[in-house]
Structure formats: C-alpha cells, structure tokens
Chains A and B, each alone.
Chain A
C-alpha cells in the first residue's frame, strides 16, 4: 500500500500517459482529469475504504467492480500493471464514467515508483 498526495501537484492523466507510454484501453473522455496522487492495492474493499478523490490507482485486478469503485471514489484513472487487460464490462463502465483505464507492462513496484517520483 502506498499513498501519494500533494496539494500543489498539477498533472493530467494525458501527461502521465505520454510520459510513461501507457496504453489507453478506455475512458478517453477522462484524459484531462487532474491527478492528486496515487494509490496501490489489489483488495477492492481496501481501495473503497482508503483511496482519495483524484488519485491514480494501480492494480492487477481487472474485474468490473474496479470501475465501480473508481467511480464511487472519483479517482482520476486506473493503471493495470504487468500487462493485464481490462475485461469487456470493465471497458464499458470506464467509457460510461469517463475514468480512463490505462495499462503498462511494468510491475506495480516500478510503476508506483515512477509515479511517486513524478508527483512528489
């Protein structure tokens, strides 16, 4: 679990995509979302309880509940790590909610480290 938050951070999801060559699976309309920090966890109940609005969430879970929680917590985007791809209904939800689902081949440790350095 890793929490990054900093009030004065100003970065958009689209900038993150460009900087780290992330795949954009869905939710393109949310690419201008502002990022306030990051959160890492694969237990959805933990994310539901602890993630903060505007954070980018890194996970290997691809189930559609991931999107429902991202929407509930008003997260900026989701990054699926290690080459995982979203399920079909996850993509559908992401498009409806305008919360991008992104992808990287990097492991969580590396991706979270990169994001941490970028935002802090």
Chain B
C-alpha cells in the first residue's frame, strides 16, 4: 500500500471562469511542483482538454483522471471521471447533446479554448459551458455509471451549486463514489454539518481556476498502485484502499 497525493478538481483554460494561464503544460508543471501524484481535470461540461493534459502528465509520472464538472438540471455541480477514451468521448457527446445552449459571443462569459500541447487554440467553444444540462442529477449519475465512470458530487459544502444547498439532502436513489469538499474547512466539520457517516468518503480538492491554487487542497489516496481502478476502490473503501484528508 502506498500513499498518493491527489487534487481531483482542476479547471483548464477551457472553463470560462478559469485563468488563461491554465494551459496543459503549466497545469502539469504546477501539479508536479505541488507534489501531486494524481490530478483530476474537470472543466465545466466539457472533457475536451482532459486528454492532452493526461498525456503530458503521464510523462511526469502523474496519473490524470480525465473528467468533467457537470452542471445538472438542478444546477448541482458533480465531478465525473472515465477510465478510457471511448467512455470519455461518449460522455462528451452526451454533454453536447443535453447542455442548455447559451451563446458566448466574443467571450462574454470568458474564453473557452480547446488547446493542444503547445497551447495552440484548436477551437473556441461557442456556447457557455457552465450552463445546466437538461438532465437531472440521478439520470446523469446513472449514465456515468453505465459508462463505468466515477461520480462525485462536487464541493458539497459550498453555499451555491452544491448538493445540499440545492437539493437539501442526499436523494435516496442517488449513488456516488464519494463527495467533494473545497474551501477552508475540515473533514470533521463537514461530516458533522451534513451528518455524513464514515462510509461516505470525502475528497478534498482545490477547485483550481488559477495555477497557484493547484494542490493547495488535496487528499491522500492509500492504494496499491497508481490507476483509475485503485482510485475508484479507495473512494468506495474496498480492498483495504481508502482516502484520507490530512
């Protein structure tokens, strides 16, 4: 069993609200500087910059969970990760199909560039990426699981766009691998505030929109090796794997 530092909630330049410095190589370099072994790339409702970051991170020995931060119909933000490109691409189609399209002329809401390794802009996504999908949280979750993905309600302790702020409590049929927390808090405080049992894993993430934020919040994964499957096991407290917030 080994310990690996993870920050699973990082935005790239593709997110309209993220700094334009959040380019693939810079994210990877900063993650390395911060001592992270696992990063999650989670742009708003798009997976299109995740693969290029994964490829660069791999060269540095960092495991990338390629994923997305979904805005559900209820405007609850949730993280999803997929362990192969086929599932990731299938989910990208789902996002494009179900997002509420609000045009983003001249970067009104912020620029949304899809970039390559050299930061060359391949495409500017023309619609606002943070707007809600037309799919409710439970059906999004089921689809993520159909594709073998990981599903984590994001920053549940935040007063906006969190599971508890918008839906009051955990829907009884909602499955998830863990819950994300962010900001200045402690695991103990969050568990007490929302009455969360120890069998629900919490992951502490930075929700980075700027380079210097990467790794400022992190969790430690106790797993046998660096892989998507082991991460999923740890989130679900299986096979003696687990996550801790230190």
* Chain A residues engaging chain B, CB cutoff 8 angstroms: 42-45, 47-48, 61-65, 68-69, 87, 89
Docked CA distance A33–B121 (Å): 59
- Complex contact A68–B169 (CB within 8 A): yes
Question: Do A69 and B171 contact each other (CB < 8 Å), given the known contacts A63-B74, A87-B136?
Answer: no
Interface residues on B, range: 10 to 19
Main secondary structure of the interface of B (DSSP, over half): loop
Docked CA distance A77–B80 (Å): 35
- Complex contact A45–B171 (CB within 8 A): no
Q: Which are the 8 A-B pairs with shortest beta-carbon distances?
A: A44-B168, A48-B168, A65-B167, A45-B168, A44-B167, A45-B165, A65-B171, A69-B168
- Complex contact A64–B171 (CB within 8 A): yes
Docked CA distance A44–B165 (Å): 7
The answer to the question of B173 belonging to the interface, with a C-beta cut-off of 8 Å to chain A, is yes
Can you sample 25 A-B contacts with CB below 8 Å?
A42-B166, A43-B165, A45-B164, A45-B165, A45-B167, A45-B168, A47-B168, A48-B168, A48-B169, A62-B136, A63-B73, A63-B136, A63-B137, A63-B138, A63-B167, A63-B171, A64-B171, A64-B172, A65-B167, A65-B171, A68-B168, A68-B172, A69-B168, A87-B136, A89-B173
What is the distance, in angstroms, from A59's C-beta to the closest C-beta of chain B? 11
Question: Do A45 and B166 contact each other (CB < 8 Å), given the known contacts A61-B74, A65-B171, A89-B173?
Answer: yes
* Chain B residues engaging chain A, CB cutoff 8 angstroms: 73-74, 136-138, 164-169, 171-173
| B residues less than 8 Å from A62 (CB atoms) | 136
Docked CA distance A48–B138 (Å): 20
Known interface pairs A45-B166, A63-B171, A68-B172; 13 further A-B residue pairs with C-beta atoms within 8 A, sorted by A's residue number: A42-B166, A43-B166, A44-B166, A45-B165, A45-B167, A45-B168, A48-B168, A63-B73, A63-B137, A64-B172, A65-B168, A68-B169, A89-B173
| A residues less than 8 Å from B171 (CB atoms) | 63-65
Docked CA distance A68–B172 (Å): 10
| B residues less than 8 Å from A43 (CB atoms) | 165-166
Most chain B beta carbons < 10 A, residue from A42, A44, A61, A65: A65
| B residues less than 8 Å from A45 (CB atoms) | 164-168
Docked CA distance A59–B74 (Å): 12
Chain B residue with the shortest CB-CB distance to A72:
B168
| A residues less than 8 Å from B136 (CB atoms) | 62-63, 87
Chain A residue with the shortest CB-CB distance to B162:
A45
Chain B residue with the shortest CB-CB distance to A62:
B136
What is the distance, in angstroms, from B73's C-beta to the closest C-beta of chain A? 8
What is the distance, in angstroms, from B98's C-beta to the closest C-beta of chain A? 15
Docked CA distance A64–B173 (Å): 10
| B residues less than 8 Å from A69 (CB atoms) | 168
Docked CA distance A65–B173 (Å): 10
What is the distance, in angstroms, from A57's C-beta to the closest C-beta of chain B? 12
Most chain B beta carbons < 10 A, residue from A44, A48, A62: A44
| B residues less than 8 Å from A42 (CB atoms) | 166
What is the distance, in angstroms, from A51's C-beta to the closest C-beta of chain B? 11
